[in-house]
Amino acid sequence: MRRGRTPLFEVPYLTPFIAIARAHAEAIAARTYARRTWALEAQRALAIAALRPRPLESTLTELARRLGHWVGMFDAAGALAHEHPAGRVPADRIGELSVRTIELAARGDQAGDSLTAGPDSFALFTLGPTGNLRGTIAVATATLDAEARAVVTSAIAMTGLTLQQNEQLARDRRRLRSELLVTLRRDDPALARTVLGSLPQAPVLVAVAEHGAPADAITQFGDRLRSLSGSRVFDAEAPEGLTICVSNADAGMLDAIAERFGIRLGVSEPAGYDAFSHAHRQAVVALRHGRAGAAHYAATADSSILSALSGDEARLIAEARLAPLRAQEGLIQTLRVWLEHDARFESAARDLGIHRHTLRARVAQASRLLGTDLGTFPARAELWAALLAAG
């Protein structure tokens, strides 16, 4: 028995077996009754906590006290919104829980999950409906019995209701900021300063995020960065995409946002509020031509004016213009090399490995197919633009 670690009980010989079974059943019933009573009292305490001035924090704090475990709530951006007891979980564990929260939010399904990091184990519960998850509640324990899970479910319901009310306030805030953005795009910051109290210090950078970027999560992340650094961040939704405005001194915030959410941002050059509309247009152009992360307008402008002809409409026109040349194998590549050599036949022919007269014949053939004289600069410029647009 010692080797197997199996408990052994010695019962007097005259004790009836039915008495042993009854005592066991009564002990189980008493324990079940105690746990159910505990669950009812805990749920009542959570309901009272939800009526306090800070209902979200009060509810989660009461949940931690009743469970006897650390409890933390993470928003959809992975930021730790509240914890109790504070500072109990190491920063590296908080980071792992944050990453797992972002993964669950991206998946979008209501689910329970668990995380084991070293000696620590956590149970995670998503907040919000499917497709609109608002974060997670993490409990520092590997297992929860049925009664404890019922208490957590009650806390999730109350937290969800509070978050729903906060969401309505957030929608009103977004509408207000969108209206303020309209005035900023008229190069007039007076109303925005009056309503908000202050704006990011000029000169500012204006950024526009790609469509589909998680606006609420980015706003929460921006608020978190602002609270840590004390810097001002203005964000508002616009038809072109979520617009973010920061001081030029806080340019690193935009890189952090792009990296954190894996999105593209178009970023303007530094500008004053009297040129906000121009900066916003720069951000839209940078977004259109940027490839990944935070694409700055200065880099886009330095690339080439002709690179702006890479839109879908220009590409379709270019493909139609070049269509007569595609029937002749290698003709488009021949013309590209010829133009890259500034329309010089000698050097282009050497590069192509053909005779200069052969190259002249091919250029003449292309002129006939295109119905234009490639001996003129405008025709060659139009052909070069078509080659760039068609890729």
Among the residue ranges 20-29, 108-117, 171-180, the one predicted with the least confidence is 108-117
Residue 222 pLDDT > 90: no
* pLDDT average, residue stretch 183-209: 91
Q: Which CATH number fits domain 25-164: 3.30.450.40, 3.40.30.10, 3.30.530.20, 3.40.5.10?
A: 3.30.450.40
Residue 327 token pair:
């029937």
The pLDDT value recorded for residue 189 is 92
Give 309's DSSP letter.
Answer: G
The CATH code of the domain at 309-390 is 1.10.10.2840
pLDDT bracket for residue 303 (50, 70, 90): low
Helix axes 356-370, 331-340, angle to 10 degrees: 110
Residue entry with tokens 């028995």: 1
At a CB cut-off of 8 Å and minimum separation 6, what does 323 contact?
A: none
Give the phi and the psi of residue 173 in degrees, each rounded to 5: -65, -40
Q: What's the pLDDT tens digit per position in 309-362?
A: 555 667 777 788 888 888 888 888 888 888 888 888 988 888 888 988 888 999
The pLDDT value recorded for residue 308 is 56
- In words, the CATH class of domain 185-303 is alpha beta
Task: Compute how many other C-beta atoms are within 10 angstroms of the C-beta atom of residue 63.
Answer: 27
Give the phi and the psi of residue 335 in degrees, each rounded to 5: -65, -40
Closest CA to 244 of 193, 274, 287: 287
Integer CA distances (angstroms), 67 to 80, 144, 161, 249, in order: 19, 9, 21, 45
Closest CA to 155 of 170, 168, 136: 136
List the domain boundaries for the chain: 25-164, 185-303, 309-390
Q: What's the pLDDT tens digit per position in 71-119?
A: 998 988 888 888 999 888 888 888 889 888 888 877 777 677 888 877 8
Integer CA distances (angstroms), 214 to 17, 134, 184, 210, in order: 65, 12, 23, 10
Q: Give the separation between CA 349 and CA 347, rounded to whole angstroms.
A: 5
More confident residue, 156 or 310: 156
User: What mean pLDDT, rounded, does the chain reach?
Assistant: 84
Among the residue ranges 131-135, 197-201, 330-334, the one predicted with the least confidence is 131-135
The pLDDT value recorded for residue 280 is 92
